[in-house]
Every structure is written in structure tokens, then in C-alpha cells.
Amino acid sequence: MYRSLNPTTGELIEEFALHTDAHVESSLEAAAAEFQVWRRARLGDRTEVLERAARELDAARDALAELMAEEMGKPVVQGLAEVDKCVWVCRYYAENAEAFLAPRAAESDGAEAWVRYDPLGTILAIMPWNFPLWQVFRAAAPALAAGNTVVLKHAPNTPRCALRIAELFEAAGTPQSVFTNLFLDNNQAAAAIGHSTVRGVTLTGSSRAGSEVARRAGAALKPIVLELGGSDPFIVFDDADIPAAVEAGVASRLLNNGQSCIAAKRFLVQAAVADEFTERFATRMVAQSVGDPRLDTTQVGPLARADLRSTLAAQVDASVAAGTEVVVEGGSGDGPGFFYKPTVLRGAPADSPAGAEELFGPVAVIELLGSDEEAVEQANRTRYGLGASMWTADRARVDELIPRIDAGSVFVNGMVKSDPRLPFGGVKDSGFGRELARDGVLEFVNTKTVWMR
């Protein structure tokens, strides 16, 4: 069962039954059959669909932001920004797919040789609730531009977002079965991964889910892209612009109510500026407006589900019991909804939840940092490797440390974010493969060598 539950009030909005196995089978077969048509469509026709999807998104901007606020608690101002980013990624691939997919001449012992990029087939996209539009469009836009068809398995708590995405593609003139939404449980999703019509899988989710998808896709010898969790370090050196670092750090930690894989989660601050940073940071965290995500003034809304709040609260309680200092005590709010107020911890033991696990909510952990060598050691002291943010005025330090940080991206004097123009992904338990930019469109193509005498 897919359940749309308002996290601000805890009230049920609507329920949706799972699709039957027979419906899933016929949908997968239809997507595979349509692939044979879609792959032969002119590239310009495929990218025109993306351009029209961008226009549909833009026209529905306010309603989509309201939908996300109601279904998973995203503050409406951030929801508007998410829709704008979906418009951007559609137009980015509409404008750049031809160059990305153009055949490339190669040297060989033949009279001619070149490399071409052909679509694979149906791509199964298993997508999360936290960015319910962006995660789907950043996966679907390059796949569709390349000539693949896409089947979406969205999160069970954002069914209305999933249905609305399918409606947007339909309104954009996407041929039937080029983009298909299915309501699947985990067993049905596992069967879909192994289905003969599915030629690739992309997942954004937890490391546990990624491991299971990787196991099943590997057994079926299918390519996958995994964008998983993160425990991103936010490194503040003694020569940093502290006010700027504080503003970016608070924005990063509280993005999407703290429920973002690439949010800054561990703040590693050199001793000389630690007191100033902590005081400023704590003040800004306390000042954030917590409330109804539909209000323009709200900066932090509720967590998306009750179990997410319970898990976060248990992690914080266990960390405090292990000796972690509480700088700002937020915690669960009173009244209805799944609210958790911004919280700041300091000095978490390495084996405590705050020191070893991903805290998926508005909780920041500050750690004291010594030398540059220690910065690298602490930044890498995690099983994750998604992003890292480094704050310093020393370019030599940047050039020395960046190659040694185990992360898919490093942002200097800025918060980690995804950008259609830049490859996005992680290492270690944060997954593998890349989304966005040219790298993203080439994940699900057949890189085909052609040789002629």
C-alpha cells in the first residue's frame, strides 16, 4: 500500500493499492516494445519532449511546491527551488544531448573507426521521497534523451508526487510507455530488477537498499547507478571567512528539514576559530523558523515520517548518553506532526551514533580539529563518501588536501550541491556511478566501437 500522509498534521490524505503482478508484467513489456520505437525517434524529437516537460513544470510550479509541502513536509520556498531545478535539468539535456551523444572519431588500423552511443532499453528508476521531483527528473531526463524508456518505482509515502510526474510527462507529449509509474512493493521491485525487459537500474536511497539492489542487479548482469547516503564533512580552517561559513553551514544542514544526503553533517572546525564558529552557528540554528511548510516564512518543516523522527531522536539520545555535549537542545516539538527542532551537538565519541552514523534530520555535530593532516583523517573517518565542503583562503592547502579526501565532490568555500553541468555521485558506502552532466547520460548507453576496412 502507498500512503500519502501529511507530516505536518499526521493525517492520512489518500491511499493507493499496489499494482498487480499482471499489470507490472504488461507495463514492463509495453515499455520494452515502445523502446524499439523511441530509440529510432530523431534525437530532436526526444529532446523536444524534455523541453515541453520543462514548460509543464514551470506552469505547475506553485501547485507542485504545495504538493511536496503537503506530502513530505518540504518548505514551500524550497519546493519552488526544486521545481526550478527540474526545469533546468530538462532544458540542460534538451540543449546538450546532441553534443553528448555525438559519435566520436577514433584512431585504429582500419580505414575508419568511431565510437557511438546507443540506448540500452528500459531503465528502472527506484527513487526516494526527500526530493520527490528532482531525483526523478535528474535520472529520467538523460535516460530519455539517450533513447531509453523509464519505469519509475517511487517511495511509498510520495505516491501523489509520482502520479503528478507521470501526468507531467504525458502532458508534454511523451509517447505512451516511454515513461511509466508503477506502485510496487519491495518484492515486486526485486522481480522487476531481474525482469528480462529491464536493462539498467538507477537507485537513490539508503546504503542498505543500494546493497540489495546491487546484489540483484549484479546477479542479472545489469548496469546500475547508486546514489546512497552521506555523512558529509564541513571543514572550517583557521583562515576561513567564519560568517560566510556559518551561513552556508546552517543552510546546508537544514536543507529539506535536514533530510538530504549531501547536507553538511559533521562540522570539523580548527581550534583557533572553534569558539567563534560554534557560537555563531548555534545562534543561527536557534533562529530558524520551524512550522507549517506551506508558509513562506517557514525554514524548517516536519520530518517526512514518524519513524524517521523516532530514529533520529534515538540516535541523539544514545549519543548524549555516550558523552556527546548538547550545544543547542532542539528535539521533538509538541503537538501534531513529525517535527524535530534544530539541534547542535559537540564532541561526539567516534563510536556513538553522532560520531559514526548518518543523522537524517536537523542535527549538526561539531568536532574540534587540529592540523591539516587531522582534517583529512577526520573527513575520511566515515564509511560514506558523497561530498565534502572545505573553507579556507589558502589555495596551496586546497590543492594539497582535495586529492586525499574520499568523496565524490569537494566544494571549496561553498556548500555541496548538485548541478546539471557537473557529475554527481559518491564513493565507498555512498554508492557508485554518476548522474548529471555528460557522465550521467553515458551511464545507460551502449558505448559501441565501429571499425571499417
- Read off the CATH number of the domain in which 167 is found: 3.40.605.10
Q: In this model, does residue 390 exceed pLDDT 80?
A: yes
Q: Give the model's pLDDT for residue 349.
A: 95
* Residues 55 and 147 placed together within one structural domain of the fold: yes
Q: Give the model's pLDDT for residue 335.
A: 78
| Domain total of the chain | 2
End-to-end CA distance of the chain: 58
Poorest-pLDDT segment among 34-48, 303-317, 321-335 = 321-335
* Residues 222 and 242 placed together within one structural domain of the fold: no
* Residues 190 and 299 placed together within one structural domain of the fold: no
* Residues 370 and 435 placed together within one structural domain of the fold: no
Q: Give the model's pLDDT for residue 18.
A: 98
Over residues 241-262, the mean pLDDT reads 98
- Is 343 a member of any domain? yes
pLDDT tens digit sequence for 260-296:
999 999 999 999 999 999 999 999 999 999 999 999 9
* Residues 337 and 260 placed together within one structural domain of the fold: yes
Q: Please, what is the Cα angle at 411 between 428 and 72, to 5 degrees?
A: 70
* Residues 249 and 370 placed together within one structural domain of the fold: yes
Indicate the average pLDDT of the chain. Answer: 97
Q: Give the model's pLDDT for residue 332.
A: 87
Q: How many Å apart are CA 97 and CA 81, to the nearest integer?
A: 24
Q: In this model, does residue 331 exceed pLDDT 90?
A: no
Nearest-CA neighbor of 386 among 413, 362, 358? Answer: 358
* Residues 50 and 133 placed together within one structural domain of the fold: yes
CB 104 within 8 A of CB 450: no
Q: In this model, does residue 333 exceed pLDDT 90?
A: no
Over residues 307-326, the mean pLDDT reads 97
Instruction: For residue 165, give its domain range.
Output: 2-228+430-452
Residue type, 18: L
- Is 38 a member of any domain? yes
Indicate which residue of 70, 82, 227, 358 is catalytic.
227
Q: How many Å apart are CA 202 and CA 127, to the nearest integer?
A: 8
Q: In this model, does residue 12 exceed pLDDT 90?
A: yes
* Residues 260 and 382 placed together within one structural domain of the fold: yes
Q: How many Å apart are CA 385 and CA 377, to the nearest integer?
A: 13
- Is 297 a member of any domain? yes
- Is 390 a member of any domain? yes
* Residues 440 and 343 placed together within one structural domain of the fold: no
Indicate which residue of 86, 90, 161, 261 is catalytic.
261
> To the nearest 10°, the Cα dihedral for 83, 87, 88, 91?
170
- Is 396 a member of any domain? yes
86 catalytic? Reply is no
- Is 305 a member of any domain? yes
The DSSP code sequence of 62-126 is HHHHHHHHHHH---HHHHHHHHHHHHHHHHHHHHHHHHHTS-EE---SSSEEEEEEEE-SEEEEE
Helix 159-171, helix 61-72: angle, nearest 10: 160
CB 345 within 8 A of CB 326: yes
Q: In this model, does residue 181 exceed pLDDT 90?
A: yes
Over residues 378-407, the mean pLDDT reads 98
* Residues 216 and 252 placed together within one structural domain of the fold: no
Q: What percent of the chain has pLDDT over 70?
A: 100
* Residues 224 and 317 placed together within one structural domain of the fold: no
Q: In this model, does residue 334 exceed pLDDT 80?
A: no
Q: How confident is the model at residue 302 (pLDDT cuts 50, 70, 90)?
A: very high
Poorest-pLDDT segment among 130-134, 327-331, 342-346 = 327-331
Q: In this model, does residue 420 exceed pLDDT 90?
A: yes
Between 363 and 331, the higher pLDDT residue: 363
- Is 265 a member of any domain? yes
66, β-bridge pairs: none
Q: Give the model's pLDDT for residue 281.
A: 98
Q: What is the grid cell recorded at 30? A: 509495453
Q: What is the grid cell recorded at 258? A: 535536514
Q: Give the model's pLDDT for residue 307.
A: 96
261 catalytic? Reply is yes
Q: What is the grid cell recorded at 410? A: 569537494
- Is 424 a member of any domain? no
Q: In this model, does residue 48 exceed pLDDT 90?
A: yes
Can you give the C-alpha Rg of the chain in angstroms? 22
Over residues 428-437, the mean pLDDT reads 98
pLDDT tens digit sequence for 113-143:
999 999 999 999 999 999 999 999 999 999 9
- Read off the CATH number of the domain in which 242 is found: 3.40.309.10
Q: Give the model's pLDDT for residue 187.
A: 97
* Residues 38 and 142 placed together within one structural domain of the fold: yes
